[in-house]
């Protein structure tokens, strides 16, 4: 027997209001006249400042070092000059102040020299340290350091890694637009996370939004998990990608080059033909012009 906690059914479900920010592409915000960068931007220890007043910094340069492993570094959002390191009022419901680095932009947006890491060859612990020093954190309420989440369990291995693109709050659509405009980067990030967690599979996306946006489409193209969606929306369904568990020989299909593209076009055309109205005997009769008749026909309509 379930225990009843509240006297009402359901809860608050406000309008999504997401269409206001999904109609336009991602844009670059203009530079403000000053940046106030809080040193404590996540759960855990407060990063230690690595710069002094008067220091010139480059975009992406570390200005706050992680305070232990349960912390994450902070970086300069642009190039410019550090004008103050002091407590500043934070955009938080508490109304409290917190240590911050104040930067005056120079307008040049100069980056530091970036040093890529080959995560496949590096020790997983080194990759997690790299993520900590890169300041990678979650965007939930706790802003949890991501490198701590990417430590696999000792007793139970990770079977499925879910990169959940669902955004429950109204107006918020940052994940939505990133999945639309930069899916390649999301897949690359998912590959790194899968390597660290040794996950067997990775699921990406927000299928609820996919179903809403697929309304009125002519063709659904996705992997085998889209078969129920195609059935609900009554859409022709072209299976592509991984996993492909309900078709034989899918791994051997070629869709590039002349022959592969030709076969793909034929397959799509056949899908549309299968969904079209099946013609009957009467569909092939062509009406004769008005008044036309011949000796062998009972009427003009028989033409």
Q: Domain range spanning residue 195? A: 152-213
* Cα 57 from chain centroid (whole Å): 31
Please report whether residue 9 resides in a domain. no
110-124 tens-digit pLDDT: 999 998 899 999 999
Please report whether residue 236 resides in a domain. yes
Comparing CA positions, the residue from 143, 161, 144 lying closest to residue 152 is 161
Whole-structure pTM value: 0.65
208-254 tens-digit pLDDT: 667 777 888 899 988 887 888 888 888 999 998 777 788 888 778 88
Whether pLDDT at 296 is above 60: no
Residues 171 and 77 in one domain: no
Can you read off the two tokens belonging to residue 6?
């509240």
Listed residues 69, 103, 136: the one ending a domain:
136
Residues 194 and 223 in one domain: no
Q: Report the number of distinct structural domains present in the chain.
A: 3
176-213 tens-digit pLDDT: 889 889 999 999 999 999 999 999 888 887 666 677 77
Please report whether residue 15 resides in a domain. no
Q: Which DSSP symbol is given to 250?
A: G
- pLDDT band of residue 89 (cuts 50, 70, 90) is very high
pLDDT at 268: 92
Residues 207 and 223 in one domain: no
Can you read off the two tokens belonging to residue 88?
């500043």
DSSP of 148-182, one letter per residue? HHTPPPSSS---EEEEE----STT--HHHHHHHH-
Please report whether residue 287 resides in a domain. no
Angle, alpha carbons 54-57-63 (nearest 5°): 95
Q: Residues, the chain, total?
A: 303
Question: CATH number of the domain that 227 lies in?
Answer: 3.40.50.1980
Please report whether residue 281 resides in a domain. no
What is the rounded distance in angstroms from the CA atom of residue 140 to the CA atom of residue 135?
15
Cis peptide bond prior to 2, omega within 30° of 0: no
SS3 81: strand
Please report whether residue 76 resides in a domain. yes
SS3 24: coil
What is the rounded distance in angstroms from the CA atom of residue 222 to the CA atom of residue 244?
10
pLDDT at 303: 46
Comparing CA positions, the residue from 148, 141, 129, 64 lying closest to residue 99 is 64
């Amino acid at each position: 027997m379930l225990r009843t906690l509240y006297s009402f059914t359901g809860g608050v479900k406000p309008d999504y209001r997401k269409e206001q920010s999904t109609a336009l592409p991602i844009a670059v915000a203009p530079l403000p006249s000053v940046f106030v960068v809080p040193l404590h931007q996540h759960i855990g220890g407060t990063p230690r400042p690595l710069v002094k007043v008067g220091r010139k910094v480059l975009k992406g340069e570390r200005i706050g070092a992680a305070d232990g492993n349960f912390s994450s570094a902070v970086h300069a959002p642009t190039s410019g000059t550090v004008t103050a390191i002091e407590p500043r009022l934070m955009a938080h419901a508490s109304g409290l102040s917190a240590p911050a680095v104040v930067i005056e932009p120079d307008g040049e947006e100069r980056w530091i020299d970036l040093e890529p890491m080959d995560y496949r060859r590096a020790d997983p612990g080194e990759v997690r340290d790299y993520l900590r020093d890169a300041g990678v954190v979650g965007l939930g309420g706790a802003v949890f350091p991501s490198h701590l989440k990417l430590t696999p369990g000792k007793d139970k291995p990770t079977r499925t890694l879910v990169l959940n693109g669902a955004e429950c709050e109204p107006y918020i659509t940052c994940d939505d637009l990133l999945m639309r405009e930069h899916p390649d980067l999301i897949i690359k990030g998912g590959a790194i996370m899968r390597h660290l967690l040794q996950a067997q599979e990775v699921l990406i996306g927000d299928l609820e939004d996919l179903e809403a946006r697929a309304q009125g489409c002519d063709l659904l193209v996705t992997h085998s998990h889209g078969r129920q969606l195609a059935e609900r929306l009554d859409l022709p369904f072209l299976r592509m990608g991984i996993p492909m568990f309900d078709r034989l020989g899918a791994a051997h299909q070629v869709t590039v080059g002349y022959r592969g593209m030709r076969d793909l076009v034929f397959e799509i055309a056949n899908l549309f033909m299968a969904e079209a109205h099946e013609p009957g005997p009467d569909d092939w009769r062509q009406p004769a012009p008005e008044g036309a008749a011949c000796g062998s026909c009972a009427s003009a309509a028989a033409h």
